[in-house]
Structure 1
Amino acid sequence: MELGTAVIPVAQRHPLVLASQALTTQAATGNRLTLGIGAGISAMVGRMYGLPVDRPVRRMREYLEVLRPLLRGESVEHRGENLTAMGRVGVPDARPPQVLLAALGPAMLRVAGEVADGAITWMTGPRTLADHIVPTITKAAADAGRPFPRVVAGFTICVTNDEQAARAGFDEQFALAGQVPEYRAMLDREGATSPADLLIAGDEESVIRRLNALRSTGITDLMATPVGDASSQARTTTTLAALLT
């Protein structure tokens, strides 16, 4: 079973540190890790840690240019615009994991296609995935002569008989997400007024129908997060398991 992170903010972790952690996890899990990373929400990175949040795309490209060789066990000697890194990480029996990038905007999606192995999304609906996310990253990878990228689409799901209550509860829980500029841009693209508009909710039949419809968007993976009360989450998990089999 694949083990993934979605996602680790990199501003707080030097590439040498993250490479060491990732390869140690690979060795401990029999090389089952997919490493999902991101620039982090600017408001949190700046306010909580006091770290710079300007030029996130340039910073991420440079970070990946250092991280990828380290994950391959290569030595780096890098003195760049934003990073200094000298050394290597060696963990016996650890293979370099795939690296997926949290990417929503066009520039970050191009980095994901050109330098990473794919992208992870959240707060993106089917229309945005089909018309923006998948075409942008796929073109970037093709132009760079790289393989077809993975696109892991994150959705929250609730199998319930009270869809209205589920959406109201979700809106209350994730109200702040709708104010984050990175997510707000995706909601606006989708024509959604709030995060609850992207919640996949309803009875088993309606949820399965909406999940099956996601196949046409071009995504390669679904990252499903059950939400709601304990009963709803149990029903959601059972429904997802049945869909997979």
Structure 2
Amino acid sequence: MDYSILIPFLQRRPEQVLPYAALVEWTKARRLWQGQSLLMEPFQTFSAVAGAGFRVPTGLGVTLMPLRHPFEAAHQVKTLAMATGESVVAGFGPGAKTFQQSLRGAPYRSQLTAVREYLTIVRGLLGGEVVDVKGEYFSCHAQMGPAMAPPVHLGLGVLRPGMARLAGEVADVAVTWLTPAAYLDGVVRPALREGADAAGRPVPKVTAMVPVALERPDRDVSEFVLASNSGHMQAPHYIDMLGRAGIDFSRLDPRSAGRLMADAGAFVFGSLDQIVERFKEYKEAGVDEIVINLTGVCNLYGAKAAMEDLKKILAAVGADRRDSGA
């Protein structure tokens, strides 16, 4: 299982990202990830970081479909691979229905249909095909010019079984957020296999974005959970996913809800040894890559504290990988 890094803040200058890119280059961290940012666009940030000399594998987890036509998405992804000289995991997702409403005037009536159309177009364009798709939400009649570039792996943001089955049909990587290991093993991976079998293609890899914080005497886990994921815990699609995972905090106060999230495995908190053990649960659940997410630490204690914890966690999982022979 690989370990990667999520940039734990919304940067305002590309040089703020350089220390994290350096960690990917100088440690066993596999890839540098960022979710959708509405400050600095991740495509441009990663290209600027490459221009500064840190050409590392990157991941977009996930960029939101309503922001760009699939031709523009394919163009941006291919440009990023060419600029960095490294592979890209290009994760896409439809975003919340309220976000769709804001940009489109109405949400997609069928989330799955919109995603299927979008990824079909992007994959065809990246593969050099003449794409001829007239869909309900996205249409494209075009071909991208040939150019040598490192591989691009198409990702899809996955929370629930329906999107997981679709990912099995059309994606290379399923990108998850706040999903406990037991839920990935019991719900997401079987749905991925079902979709892949139906389409006659390999089962996508699983990349889990895992929120983490190191336990210290003055730290309360509920504060970290809320600092990193309070917005997600109010979104209907996350509430539904967490409910399917057995996490119902609808009648709890915020602090109790935060503790429940940690107790149920949606947030990893503890000593270095405890964190390593919790990460093993993800490996046993079939996860191929953990993206270490220290957003809560950064929001509460600043980027320096997040970087210190990140280095310690990377060292701990690196030692674990050597000890296990991985």
Q: Calculate the TM-score normalised by the size of structure 1.
A: 0.91
Gaps of 5+ in 2: 1-55, 250-256, 320-326
Shift of the 186–117 alpha-carbon distance from structure 1 to 2, 3 Å rule, reads: same
Corresponding residue for 1:158? 213
C-alpha root-mean-square deviation of aligned residues, in Å? 2.0
Q: 2:100 aligns with which of 45, 52, 57?
A: 45
Determine the C-alpha separation between the residues in 1 that align with 2:315 and 2:143. Answer: 41
Cα offset for 1:17?
0.5
- CA separation in 1, counterparts of 2:137 and 2:150? 27
- Tell me the residue number matched to 2:276: 208
- The aligned length equals 245
2:168 to 108, 113, 126: 113
The structure-2 alpha-carbon separation of the partners of 1:31 and 1:206, relative to structure 1 and needing over 3 Å to count, comes to closer
Distance 1:238 1:140 in 2: 38
Distance 1:3 1:172, change over 3 A: closer
Contact 2:57–2:84 (CA under 8 A) maintained in structure 1:
no
1:186 aligns with 2:229: no
Listed one character per residue, the Cα deviations across residues 186-223 of structure 1 (whole Å, up to 9, x for unaligned) are 21122223464321111212111111222111111111
Counterparts of 2:269 and 2:206, CA distance in 1: 22
- Distance between the aligned counterparts of 1:132 and 1:54, measured in 2? 24
Structure-2-length-normalised TM-score: 0.70
Give me the whole-angstrom Cα distance separating, in 1, the residues matched to 2:127 and 2:89.
14
Q: Percent identity?
A: 28
Partners of 1:172 and 1:23 in 2: CA distance: 34
- Residues 1:59 and 2:114 aligned together: yes
Q: Which segment is superposed worse, 140-149 or 225-234? A: 225-234
Q: 2:267 — aligned with what?
A: 199
In terms of mean alpha carbon deviation, does 164-173 or 214-223 score higher? 164-173
Query: Which residue does the alignment assign to 1:20?
Result: 75
How far 1:84 sits from its partner (Å)?
Answer: 2.1
User: 2:154 matched to which residue of 1?
Assistant: 99
Q: Deviations over 1:53-93 (max 9, x none)?
A: 32110111111221111011222222222222122222521
Quick check: 162-171 or 119-128, which moved more? 162-171
Structure 1 unaligned residues grouped into runs of 5+: none
SS at match of 2:210: strand
